[in-house]
A and B are shown apart, each in its own frame.
Chain A
Amino acid sequence: GENVEQHPSTLSVQEGDSAVIKCTYSDSASNYFPWYKQELGKRPQLIIDIRSNVGEKKDQRIAVTLNKTAKHFSLHITETQPEDSAVYFCAASILTGGGNKLTFGTGTQLKVEL
């Protein structure tokens, strides 16, 4: 089955700096890669996703890049703000067949310091 590894497990940045979280996946058939943000005690919320036919996607201060050859994808947050502090999870899935199951990484605790 799919295996997703995520690094780093914790990340501390100064407000206004950029943050980068990296994930690798094992199944070359995976074709959908979402990122979720989970605030303390809350449910995971989708913040951005990318399909395998796209190399990069941007939404305001967040962007995701995908390297299919190397089987890794990254989340980039620019101009970080205190409200960006949360746990971020990457995930991978095959969208056609197999129940479209998401396999999650172990999460990155991002702390944005003032």
Chain B
Amino acid sequence: NAGVTQTPKFRILKIGQSMTLQCTQDMNHNYMYWYRQDPGMGLKLIYYSVGAGITDKGEVPNGYNVSRSTTEDFPLRLELAAPSQTSVYFCATRPLGESRWSYTFGSGTRLTVV
């Protein structure tokens, strides 16, 4: 049981390049989230999904896209990378139902755009 797996762990992108951050979970959790964490700051929600085929914008969605074709995978796509997207990206999941409310976080992807 791996939990929430994020790849890659580190990446350096040049301005204008694109990439996909991968997030895979094996816990059969319905809810999945992408957050970014800028240095010395809290986590800000980029996109989230309540189930396969359903995604919605969070607080800071500009410059990103997501898809959720399966329960397990929730990739985050960066198009035309900009220095402002330098951050640590965390994927998180949560099961359906009020009895288990806490998020399970992945280990993060540290992205630098130069």
A contact residues vs B (CB 8 Å cutoff): 1, 4, 6, 32, 34, 42-46, 49, 89, 93, 95-96, 99-107
Size class of the B contact interface (CB-based, 8 Å): 20 to 34
Residues in chain B near residue A43, CB distance under 8 A: 90, 105-108
Q: Are A101 and B45 interface neighbours, CB within 8 A?
A: yes
Q: In the complex, what's the smallest C-beta–C-beta distance from A22 to chain B, in angstroms?
A: 15
| Contacts known (A99-B31, A100-B31); A44 close to B45, Cβ less than 8 A | no
Residues in chain A near residue B103, CB distance under 8 A: 34, 44, 46, 102
Contact of B43 among A44, A49, A93, A100 (CB under 8 A): A44
| Contacts known (A43-B108, A99-B56); A49 close to B42, Cβ less than 8 A | no
Q: Are A100 and B102 interface neighbours, CB within 8 A?
A: no
B contact residues vs A (CB 8 Å cutoff): 31, 33, 35, 40-45, 48-50, 56, 58-59, 90, 94, 98, 101-103, 105-108
Residues in chain A near residue B106, CB distance under 8 A: 43
24 contacts between A and B (CB under 8 A): A1-B59, A34-B102, A43-B105, A43-B107, A43-B108, A44-B43, A45-B105, A46-B103, A49-B101, A49-B102, A89-B42, A89-B43, A93-B101, A95-B98, A95-B101, A99-B50, A100-B94, A101-B45, A101-B48, A102-B103, A104-B35, A104-B43, A105-B42, A106-B41
